[in-house]
Amino acid sequence: MSERFVPLLDARVRRVALPQSGSIPAAQGALTDRLQRPLHDLRVSVTDRCNFRCTYCMPKEVFNREHHFLPHSELLSFEEITHLSRVFVANGVEKIRLTGGEPLLRKDLTRLVRMLAELRTPDGRAIDLALTTNASLLRRHAADLAHAGLKRVTVSLDALDDDVFRRMNDVGFPVAAVLDGIDAAMAAGLPVKVNMVVQRGTNEHQILPMARFFRERGATLRMIEYMDVGTTNGWRLDQVVPASEIVARIDAEMPLEPIDPNYPGEVAQRWRYREGDGEIGVVASVTQAFCRTCTRARLSVEGRLYLCLFASEGYDLRSLLRGNASDAQLSTAIGRIWSARSDRYSELRGQARPDGASKVEMSYIGG
């Protein structure tokens, strides 16, 4: 496999030795890492391309016409994604989220949704199959995605003010079109959550308008601290609006009370409105690290397994898959990788990486 990848996506890749058939029993059932964190969630990137150039994710000065995106031949096929996903599900994964880039740019994504929706956990339950999207193409595809078996949608939207949103997506895309996509998803019966990345000096004045609007719409809003994912977004700590400040702003107008997580390892702290219906969530990766409960693995668009959003290396599963590894061999390889996992970047933020390795970009493995 070629080591050439994408400029500025220079996280290292590790080849995974093919386990000899019969030499080690295949991993079976739930896997845990060195900190006893189970493997529960798999995020699958289906494309490294996006039609937005959000300044905190794919800044235009880096991801421009000279940027080399991956050729189609290097992407995992839908059959390969489903094959690997089946092995992950056999080893404890219950939630799969399709990401990108912008996943709806991947041709015929509905077919992949249909294939993944057929997967079952060892005890026969359907998986929780979700999609994260900028919603630019959601109106066109929402009904078909729901019919194919998608369970829910998360939409990235950072402002209701059209001027602010156009500046942040940096391609002039209007808020109204995103809201149309959200409406189409809800009309198709898909529950919607909205993710807002909050940046000091950019869109923090949109916190209350967003909370008001989506409370009325019946969609859960999650506000995310601006994170230092990758190496190209020019992150600075003084641009972070702490989750505590976000909650305080909303609570001052619409009183809140904390509620329990939906499941162990949920990254968002949940709050409900004391008066009336609705809730918000805040993701405080910077100020209140939740590494000790992280249950997520990430599969890149060309089959590299990353154990952390801030990882500096990935593990090459595509070579195993295309080298005709058996399911038992794939399962054992995944088990070895996960059982050695000790990642806790957010807890150690600020400490220099000993090898100076760059972090993988969020646009490549999803948020």
Would you say residue 76 has pLDDT above 60? yes
CA 351 to chain centre: 24
Q: How far, in Å, CA of 10 to CA of 68, rounded?
A: 13
Q: What is the mean pLDDT of residues 26-31?
A: 66
pLDDT of the residue at 347: 67
Would you say residue 239 has pLDDT above 90? no
Number of CB atoms found within 10 A of residue 205's CB:
12
Q: What is the mean pLDDT of residues 61-80?
A: 90
Would you say residue 59 has pLDDT above 50? yes
Structure token digits, residue 171: 């391609």
Q: Quick one: pLDDT band at residue 309, thresholds 50, 70, 90?
A: confident
Looking at per-residue confidence, does 321 or 262 come out higher?
A: 321
Q: Quick one: pLDDT band at residue 86, thresholds 50, 70, 90?
A: very high
pLDDT of the residue at 355: 53
> What would the DSSP string read from start to end of 181-205?
HHHHHHHTT--EEEEEEEBTTTTGG
Please name the helix (run of DSSP H) or strand (run of DSSP E) that holds residue 249, with its range, or none.
helix 243-253
Residue pLDDT, tens place only, 242-273: 999 999 999 999 999 999 888 777 888 999 99
Would you say residue 219 has pLDDT above 60? yes
User: Which stretches does DSSP call E strand in the chain?
Assistant: 12-15, 41-45, 95-99, 128-133, 152-156, 192-198, 220-225, 256-259, 269-273, 279-283, 296-299, 304-306, 313-316
Would you say residue 188 has pLDDT above 80? yes
Q: How far, in Å, CA of 198 to CA of 176, rounded?
A: 20
Would you say residue 21 has pLDDT above 80? no
Residue pLDDT, tens place only, 145-170: 999 999 999 999 999 999 999 999 99
Q: How far, in Å, CA of 49 to CA of 101, rounded?
A: 5
Look over the chain and give the mean of its residue pLDDT values, rounded to a whole number: 88
Would you say residue 363 has pLDDT above 80? no
Least confident of 47-61, 131-145, 292-306, 352-366: 352-366
Question: What is the percentage of the chain residues whose pLDDT exceeds 90?
Answer: 68
Q: Quick one: pLDDT band at residue 303, thresholds 50, 70, 90?
A: very high
Q: What is the mean pLDDT of residues 313-328?
A: 95
Least confident of 61-65, 231-235, 300-304, 309-313: 231-235
pLDDT of the residue at 263: 78
> Which CATH code, of 3.40.50.20, 3.40.50.10800, 3.40.350.10, 3.20.20.70, is assigned to 12-190+294-365?
3.20.20.70
pLDDT of the residue at 101: 92
**DSSP-derived pairing of the beta strands 41-45 and 95-99:** parallel
Q: Which residue has the tokens 């699958």?
A: 44
Domains of the chain by residue range: 12-190+294-365
pLDDT of the residue at 343: 86
Would you say residue 308 has pLDDT above 50? yes
354: which DSSP letter?
T
CA distances from residue 307 to 39, 115, 144, 267 in whole angstroms, order as listed? 10, 24, 32, 15
Instruction: Indicate if the alpha-carbon torsion angle 44, 267, 230, 161 is positive or negative.
Output: positive
230: which DSSP letter?
S
Looking at per-residue confidence, does 190 or 292 come out higher?
A: 190
Would you say residue 276 has pLDDT above 60? yes
